């Protein structure tokens, strides 16, 4: 058990977490240790954003909320443009600097209620609850511009310009979808943004998406209505 404590404390120290309060071993200290480990398990270590596991849980919760309330919700996925070029030209340490800078820009641009996650190497996602359809393009464009206007310092006196491609789709209201279907529709728009030249936002043309056959099946499967003969 002592070894497990040592490993846990080492992980917490490496993450930059503040010292745990209380005397080692007492109830306050143990609770702080547990809380710190829970936080570490839900955070991306490089950026401090939510990790993919936390993102998937938040996505499922938002799907349930939209199905019950009918309130709009927007999902954005983002890729750093030409990120491989940064790594190949300047090295992976510079690539990490770029990822951190983009993460900060995203976190500073959205509302406290929105969830920003790093879902892959240079890939990010944002879940925006209660985001009216009219605001979707404005939100996505504000995020894109925020990243583009801030050069990233990768070494003393050396900067690189960074842009992102953004794809977005709204969850179907009053309909139970799945995380995979929502992500697929969002990724389709991200691919469109990249194929049209990058450094741009592409959202589904309509904020009221067509309900797929799979989503209709989920709707009917969860219905309490029965046929009477």
Provide the annotated active-site residues.
122
Around Cβ 34, how many Cβ atoms within 10 Å?
11
Count of helix runs (H) and strand runs (E) in the chain:
8, 7
The helix or strand, by DSSP H or E, that contains position 76, with its residue range, turns out to be strand 73-80
d(CA 65, CA 195): 33
CA 62 to chain centre: 13
The first and second tokens of residue 182, run together, are 């929502």
The owner of tokens 């960074």 is 162
Report the C-alpha gap between 33 and 22 in whole angstroms.
Answer: 10
Burial of 137 (0-12, 13-18, 19+ CB in 10 A): middle
Distance (Å, rounded) from C-alpha 160 to C-alpha 196? 22
């Amino acid at each position: 058990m002592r070894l497990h404590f040592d490993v846990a404390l080492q992980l917490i120290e490496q993450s930059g977490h503040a010292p745990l309060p209380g005397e080692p071993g007492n109830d306050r200290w143990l609770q702080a240790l547990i809380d710190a480990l829970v936080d570490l398990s839900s955070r991306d270590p490089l950026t401090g954003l939510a990790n993919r596991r936390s993102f998937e849980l938040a996505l499922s919760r938002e799907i349930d909320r939209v199905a019950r309330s009918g309130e709009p919700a927007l999902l954005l996925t983002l890729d750093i443009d030409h990120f491989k070029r940064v790594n190949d030209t300047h090295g992976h340490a510079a690539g990490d600097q770029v990822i951190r800078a983009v993460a900060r820009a995203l976190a500073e641009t959205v509302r406290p209620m929105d969830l920003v996650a790093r879902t892959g190497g240079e890939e990010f996602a944002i879940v925006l609850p209660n985001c009216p359809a009219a605001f979707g393009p404005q939100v996505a464009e504000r995020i894109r511009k925020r990243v583009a206007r801030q050069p990233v310092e990768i070494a003393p006196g050396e900067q690189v310009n960074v842009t992102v491609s953004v794809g977005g789709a709204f969850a179907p209201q009053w309909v139970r979808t799945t995380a995979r279907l929502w992500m697929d529709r969002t990724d389709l728009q991200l691919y469109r943004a990249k194929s049209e030249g990058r450094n741009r936002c592409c959202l589904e043309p309509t904020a009221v998406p067509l309900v797929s056959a799979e989503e209709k099946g989920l709707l009917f499967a969860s219905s309490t209505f029965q046929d009477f003969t």
